[in-house]
Chain A
């Protein structure tokens, strides 16, 4: 499994190799990264929306407060 930094390194290498490195300026790389990261968030939002994570914004907030007492009840028995 790749680390995130490794992926970035790989992508930067690809970009640098694709363009001519001599004329390449760091600004293209930075803009490329920023747009790429923004795209990741865009896709993440689409995914969250599609998997209905915004459908019910209230119930999970209550659900998390319930004690997990299944085992507790059984141990008393």
Chain B
């Protein structure tokens, strides 16, 4: 076994590009990693669709996973919830298909009609990873359609809380229409105002009133339609006796319009309509930039996205698929291999071996005996089991978290920099305007008083200020995005900058769920390491390979009496060492640890035990060190037991609290406690068990290795790959806030210049028309360039 192992050919699966070793699946000179991949190839080949492989090499997705039971897709009431449209003949459905990843996928899914004539048309939206399929439901049932998609390797993700459909509801069309109208009016009124700025001769004066009325005509839709949101927002904030930035904005816009309208109608001046239009146009663009949407990521998930749509209920010996929300107490449910238990239930039949990694973060299956309560959220591994539901889905141990009081009343109260500033800004602005009014009035120049008063309100309208924060933060957002940290919205970046305490979950967060490594408890001398190295080299067993990796570079020793007992262990001798390593029964000791373990016995003395553990994410030590140096408080909350506490104590600073065996509600309570101590807490977690803590924390970051997979509701999703960049992310968020403050100073400078002219009553329309765009352009370019510069400095670009 050991010798032949080295000759194995390693090739690549033709379909999915996974490495394959010694595969029985060979078809027409192509190798496949599994039957699934081969089947997809066969289906496509039979239908003359090999082009799939032409557009990209290895376009497919590995087919190694199990297929779930789809009988629920035959229930009419479930179907009607899933489809977008249906009549007697035709149904249209939009699927979210995470496997969409290259142009071949688009090609195949849009040529679905070649595989089954009942599919009328299909259209893929690549960015959203969606396929909208129109099919004849008489000829092809929904279940058959989903099975067809599964067969070709594009399994749609169907969940109760159809996140994609909810996401679609957010549309920016209203805002875009407002921007368009403002832009249209801006361009045209600018054109009309030009003659006035360049000075008109006596002949052209005839047209002045015509131009004025044209300008007025362009100003009205901008005021009434485009700027309407600002008036609403300003009105609301005034009613709540708060001053937000929309108050001075709306005031500026209104005064601009009124003064211009009066000037135009009384024919005393050309008005400022072009400035009004450009102002509204720019601030609306700022608003649009701020509303960034991620098509394929949802931040508002709850337990419903984890649970399947339906579960099999046993009624009078019949298996009936039923929607989870319709599940009642007392129902007998059948859970097959790899299905999730949707509600707290008592085990009635079968051997339950439940993986609670969703709930606790611990991935080792837990055995349950008959009559024992199995909590919702666990995944059955092994044979089918029968359970009796004892609590409704929404009342289960896990889902109760969402009914928690602190969860519902939850609202992140966070004062953004601009929000903080705008309170004072409005007060100062209005008092300057009133002072100017009073000054000129008492000096007997009433007409100038009115001019100065309105001019102050116009020129100090915080357009540049309103733009500084959206443009900085959206530039920062796209830099985060490039580094695979997906942040929900721009204000979350400001929250991130305020964080002073970082709390980690253990399993899946600081450990990598895919990479595992050997972990050794005990001590070995260098010579013993060399012996182990020489022994393990002979074996092809995966555990031996892992041990070799752990040992690293060692010297090869001439060992004798080598013996390998397949599946048990190996033994050998070297000089006066007699070494045995393998399972507990092989070396003859009592089991000390659960799960996979390799015991090392040297000269009848147990030297230690190797266990296969999920390894820390790369760079964990550095992250903890640099966060510590930046004066962040670090804590760890784990639902797991204390097995690896010693190793963690070495990594984390001494003052950190390392908490183990924490239930989801404990985590939430703990975060709350820290918050009440005035800490700004950032929680990093992954599983559903962290969901409460993630939402409670000032900033919840879900760590996920596949961002298309479901992650709990949070403020940001971090791709596991970018975990090492965490300190850089935190620093960069602080930089972004710094940039906002700097650009605030610049816009303030413009305001001071503008106001100094305005209070003297000498502001001309031309001056306003130039100052407004210049300040806007300065702010936009300054913020974008500075943010990029900081990004470069932090190594994020």
| Bound-state Cα–Cα, A72 to B192, Å | 58
Are A66 and B107 in contact, CB atoms less than 8 angstroms apart?
A: yes
Say which one of B120-128, B232-240, B247-255, B407-415 lies at the interface with A.
B120-128
Are B103 and A62 in contact, CB atoms less than 8 angstroms apart?
A: yes
6 new A-B contacts, CB < 8 A, other than A38-B188, A56-B128, are A50-B173, A56-B126, A57-B127, A59-B124, A62-B103, A63-B106
| Bound-state Cα–Cα, A46 to B122, Å | 26
- Which of chain B's residues has its CB closest to A54's CB? B176
* SS class, residues of chain B in contact with chain A: helix
Determine whether B18 belongs to the interface, using a CB cutoff of 8 Å to chain A.
no
**Closest Cβ–Cβ distance, residue B590 to chain A (whole Å):** 60
Please judge, given known A-B contacts A58-B127, A59-B106, A59-B126, whether A49 and B210 are in contact too, CB under 8 Å.
no
Are B106 and A34 in contact, CB atoms less than 8 angstroms apart?
A: no
Interface hits, A24-67 → B, CB 8 Å:
25, 27-28, 31, 34-35, 38-39, 42, 45-46, 49-50, 55-59, 62-63, 65-67
Interface size class of A (residues with CB under 8 A): 20 to 34
With a cutoff of 8 Å between Cβ atoms, the chain B residues found around residue A77 in the complex are 48
Interface hits, B132-191 → A, CB 8 Å:
173, 176-177, 180-181, 184, 187-188, 191
Are B126 and A49 in contact, CB atoms less than 8 angstroms apart?
A: no
With a cutoff of 8 Å between Cβ atoms, the chain A residues found around residue B107 in the complex are 66
Determine whether A20 belongs to the interface, using a CB cutoff of 8 Å to chain B.
no
Determine whether A69 belongs to the interface, using a CB cutoff of 8 Å to chain B.
yes
| Bound-state Cα–Cα, A67 to B104, Å | 12
Are A38 and B187 in contact, CB atoms less than 8 angstroms apart?
A: yes
| Bound-state Cα–Cα, A27 to B110, Å | 53
Are A56 and B127 in contact, CB atoms less than 8 angstroms apart?
A: yes
Chain B CB count within 10 A is highest, among A45, A50, A77, for: A45
With a cutoff of 8 Å between Cβ atoms, the chain A residues found around residue B106 in the complex are 59, 62-63
Are A49 and B176 in contact, CB atoms less than 8 angstroms apart?
A: yes
**Closest Cβ–Cβ distance, residue B438 to chain A (whole Å):** 42
| Bound-state Cα–Cα, A62 to B110, Å | 12
Are A38 and B51 in contact, CB atoms less than 8 angstroms apart?
A: no
Interface hits, B208-233 → A, CB 8 Å:
210, 214
What would 21 A/B residue contacts be, using CB atoms closer than 8 Å? Answer: A27-B207, A31-B214, A34-B188, A34-B191, A35-B188, A38-B187, A42-B180, A42-B181, A45-B180, A46-B180, A49-B176, A56-B125, A56-B127, A56-B128, A57-B127, A58-B126, A59-B126, A62-B103, A66-B51, A66-B107, A77-B48
Are B125 and A59 in contact, CB atoms less than 8 angstroms apart?
A: yes
Are B191 and A49 in contact, CB atoms less than 8 angstroms apart?
A: no
- Which of chain B's residues has its CB closest to A76's CB? B48
With a cutoff of 8 Å between Cβ atoms, the chain A residues found around residue B207 in the complex are 25, 27
- Which of chain B's residues has its CB closest to A70's CB? B114
Chain B CB count within 10 A is highest, among A35, A58, A59, for: A59
Interface hits, B290-343 → A, CB 8 Å:
none
Interface hits, A8-32 → B, CB 8 Å:
25, 27-28, 31
| Bound-state Cα–Cα, A38 to B187, Å | 9
1/0 per residue, CB under 8 A from A, across B47-81: the answer is 01001000100000000000000000000000000
Are B176 and A42 in contact, CB atoms less than 8 angstroms apart?
A: no
With a cutoff of 8 Å between Cβ atoms, the chain A residues found around residue B188 in the complex are 34-35, 38
With a cutoff of 8 Å between Cβ atoms, the chain B residues found around residue A57 in the complex are 127
With a cutoff of 8 Å between Cβ atoms, the chain A residues found around residue B128 in the complex are 56
Q: Which of B103, B124, B177 contacts A46 (CB 8 A)?
A: B177
| Bound-state Cα–Cα, A15 to B766, Å | 32
With a cutoff of 8 Å between Cβ atoms, the chain B residues found around residue A46 in the complex are 177, 180
With a cutoff of 8 Å between Cβ atoms, the chain B residues found around residue A35 in the complex are 188, 214
With a cutoff of 8 Å between Cβ atoms, the chain A residues found around residue B177 in the complex are 46, 49
